[in-house]
Amino acid sequence: MEENPLISVIVLNWNGRQFLERCLGSILAQNRRIAEALLVTRNAIVFDPTYADAYTLLGKIYTVTGDRDKAIDVFSRALELRPDEKSFYVMLGQLQATQNMWEEAEKTFTKMIQQFPDEKESYYYLGKVYVEDKKYDKAAEVFEKLLQRRGDNPAQVHVELGEIYVLEKKFPEAEDQFRKAIKVEPLNVNARLNLGRVLAIQKKYEESDRVFGELSKLVPSNLRVQIRMALILAEQKQYDKAREMLDAILQTRPALDQEIRFHV
């Protein structure tokens, strides 16, 4: 059997992290050398069971191939070998979350906070997991702590808090958070959409109309945002206003006829 030159080169150089990752990128881009990548990386681990980079590479391959349970096991091992590697926590926690392993993901991101107390993204990830697990009080507590740290992008944290309060049907509190987000970042489209929605939910229709009117002026060419506003109005049974908005979009972009007609 003829020796594969690619495997020979990789085996000889398996100890180089950048080389391995570059080879994986090439293999995945070609979409036809996954089996070879698995073989090489497993060999690297056999040669040195403490080689954290090889576990990382193997975990990435399993993630790409959809073997997420295996990827979780591999990244767990990598994290044990190198607990000071921030990216390992992120990859492991996100994989656990995709598998609805909420408690495990919470533990992973809690450990990340303990290991990197000054890394604000640790709190963000933990808060998002709490939301997915419907632990809204804990999620709100995490995002409040994140606000107290006065880190980057406070507007997004206010939006996250507002969305939690919407889920809890605490609409005045949600409104307050969305308004704070807009005050920090006036061009935050998501905050304005959410504010318009929560105002409509509270039947504050005039205020909701004003918010949507301002948003339309801010992003007049973003028809997806316009459609989203119309759907929010329809959600609140303001069908005439929703239809009027969708008809206006249709006049501007006839090519969207099929999509618009579906909503109308």
Distances (CA, A) of 121 to 86, 88, 90, 216, 229: 10, 13, 9, 32, 30
Quick one: pLDDT at residue 8? Answer: 41
Give the tokens for residue 69. 């349970």
Per-residue burial over 160-195, b if 16 or more Cβ lie within 10 Å, else e, is: bbbbbbbeeebbebbbbbbbbbbeebeebebbbbbb
Q: Enumerate residues 6+ apart whose C-beta is below 8 A from 137.
A: none
9-51 tens-digit pLDDT: 444 444 454 455 445 533 543 455 777 777 777 777 777 788 7
| Averaged confidence pLDDT in the chain | 81
- Over pLDDT 70: what percentage of the chain? 81
Judged against a pLDDT cut of 70, whether residue 252 lies above it is answered with no
Torsion of CA 239, 241, 243, 249, to 10 degrees: -150
227 or 112: whose pLDDT is higher?
112
For residue 233, which of 251, 246, 222 has the smallest C-alpha distance?
246
Judged against a pLDDT cut of 80, whether residue 3 lies above it is answered with no
For residue 210, which of 247, 182, 243 has the smallest C-alpha distance?
182
For the ranges 8-12, 128-132, 238-242, the one whose mean pLDDT is highest = 128-132
For the ranges 108-112, 197-201, 214-218, the one whose mean pLDDT is highest = 108-112
Task: Delimit the domains of the chain by residue range.
Answer: 1-82, 153-264
46-99 tens-digit pLDDT: 777 887 877 888 888 888 788 999 999 999 999 999 999 999 999 999 999 999
What dotted CATH number matches 153-264? 1.25.40.10
Quick one: pLDDT at residue 24? Answer: 52
Judged against a pLDDT cut of 50, whether residue 101 lies above it is answered with yes
Domain 1-82 has CATH 1.25.40.10: yes
Range with the poorest average pLDDT among 108-122, 159-173, 242-256: 242-256
For the ranges 44-53, 129-138, 217-226, the one whose mean pLDDT is highest = 129-138
